[in-house]
């Protein structure tokens, strides 16, 4: 980056980018946060502060994956809810977009919650509103594997959205819970998108055109998502960016692909930043057989890299150098997520 820095001094873009980044609402709807016994909590809390320092306005924390244990999910939810509420000078439990904007004005980090999955409902749709009341604002339909609602993206076959899944999506929409289709099987995702009823998102799914991987999605799905008024987020995981290359330039290549395909108003960022892969992978693999496909590069000898929160200012500058308008950049950094959230839950 030193070369870029030298140029920036002379052309003033770095300063403009820095100013734009400072006033942007930077949102990430997919911050892995799940509790597990071997999680190094110090690193987890440090990650939040790193994100705040990198200019983030709002992060949504993953409270559970497809965990069908209501008790465990509730305990996790109330623990993190209490943690956010216990530090009102630094964090805001943001349940509305107005609260996110207020947090930005007050120089605090806004925090929200989501599930990566729908099994915490245990097929009881009344729980959607209960979790919503406690701060859950989005749920992805299925996490890699099959569940009651439909299929995950790592199943060998995808039988589509189930009747329960159909009722689930409708109740989510009634309550104002954002429908997230990342990690979900293509046919199941397509079935959900065809239901309509408001904007939907892929919070963190890269284009398969640029890198073939079952966690990435075909253009046809990304376009269908954009057509709902929704947003597709770029994932910062090296396994999905390709060649484990997490340089800002590669992230920008993925962003630009979606901008060309969908238009800048339908692109966002969802870094999926795993703060401690060394403890996370052994935990999830030992408790959830089949959750990650062996042939899908997750278990390569080289540790998977992730785009770090600190690269976000570089993204802003890089997009500016590509000639993106300020408006387009503000949208990609978080304005587009805000628009969808405002439409779905206010």
- Of residues 136, 116, 336, the one with CA closest to residue 225: 336
Among 81, 104, 146, 215, binds other proteins (CB under 8 A): 81
Please return the burial class of 198, using the count of CB atoms within 10 Å of its CB with bins 0-12, 13-18 and 19+: middle
Alpha carbon distances (Å) from 318 to 18, 247, 251? 11, 11, 10
79 binds other proteins, rule: CB under 8 A: yes
Total of chain residues touching other proteins, rule CB under 8 A: 17
Nearer to other proteins, 71 or 157 (CB): 71
1 SS3 class: coil
Nearer to other proteins, 1 or 78 (CB): 78
d(CA 96, CA 341): 8
| Interface stretch with other proteins, choices 72-80, 227-235, 273-281, 310-318 (CB under 8 A) | 72-80
Angle of CA points 239, 217, 339, to nearest 5° = 105
Q: How far is the CB of 145 from other proteins (least distance, A)?
A: 23
25 binds other proteins, rule: CB under 8 A: no
77 binds other proteins, rule: CB under 8 A: yes
Q: How far is the CB of 178 from other proteins (least distance, A)?
A: 19
d(CA 180, CA 274): 19
Among 1, 15, 85, 299, binds other proteins (CB under 8 A): 85
Q: How far apart are the first and last CA of the chain?
A: 40
Rg, C-alpha atoms of the chain: 19
Strands 267-269 and 231-234: what pairing?
Answer: parallel
Among 92, 127, 255, 315, binds other proteins (CB under 8 A): 127
Among 89, 126, 157, 301, binds other proteins (CB under 8 A): 126
Nearer to other proteins, 1 or 82 (CB): 82
167 binds other proteins, rule: CB under 8 A: no
What are the tokens at 78?
A: 């109330």
Task: Return residues touching other proteins (CB under 8 A).
Answer: 70-71, 74-75, 77-79, 81-82, 85, 124, 126-127, 129-130, 133-134
């Amino acid at each position: 980056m030193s070369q870029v820095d030298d140029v920036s001094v002379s052309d003033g873009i770095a300063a403009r980018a820095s100013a734009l980044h400072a006033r942007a609402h930077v949102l990430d709807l997919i911050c892995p946060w799940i509790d597990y016994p071997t999680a190094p909590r110090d690193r987890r809390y440090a990650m939040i502060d790193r994100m705040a320092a990198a200019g983030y306005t709002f992060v949504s924390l993953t409270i559970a994956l497809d965990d069908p244990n209501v008790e465990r999910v509730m305990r996790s939810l109330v623990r993190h809810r209490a943690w956010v509420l216990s530090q009102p000078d630094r964090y805001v439990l943001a349940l509305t977009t107005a609260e996110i904007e207020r947090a930005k004005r007050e120089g605090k980090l806004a925090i929200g919650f989501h599930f990566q999955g729908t099994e915490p409902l245990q097929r009881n749709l009344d729980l959607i509103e209960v979790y919503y009341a406690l701060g859950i604002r989005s749920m992805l339909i299925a996490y890699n594997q099959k569940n009651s609602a439909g299929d995950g993206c790592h199943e060998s076959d995808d039988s589509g959205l189930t009747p329960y899944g159909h009722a689930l999506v409708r109740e989510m929409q009634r309550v104002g819970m954002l429908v997230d289709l990342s990690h979900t099987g293509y046919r199941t995702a397509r079935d959900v998108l065809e239901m309509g009823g408001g904007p939907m998102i892929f919070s963190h799914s890269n284009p398969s055109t640029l890198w073939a991987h079952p966690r990435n999605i075909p253009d046809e799905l990304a376009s269908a998502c954009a057509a709902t008024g929704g947003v597709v987020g770029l994932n910062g995981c090296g396994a999905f960016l390709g060649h484990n290359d997490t340089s800002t330039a590669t992230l920008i290549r993925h962003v630009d692909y979606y901008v060309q395909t969908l238009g800048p108003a339908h692109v966002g960022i969802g870094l999926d930043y795993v703060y401690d892969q060394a403890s996370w992978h052994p935990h999830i693999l030992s408790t959830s057989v089949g959750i990650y496909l062996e042939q899908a590069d997750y278990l390569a000898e080289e540790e998977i890299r992730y785009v770090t929160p600190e690269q976000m200012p570089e993204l802003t500058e890089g997009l500016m150098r590509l000639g993106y308008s300020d408006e387009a950049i503000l949208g990609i950094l978080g304005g587009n997520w805000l628009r969808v959230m405002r439409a779905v839950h206010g």
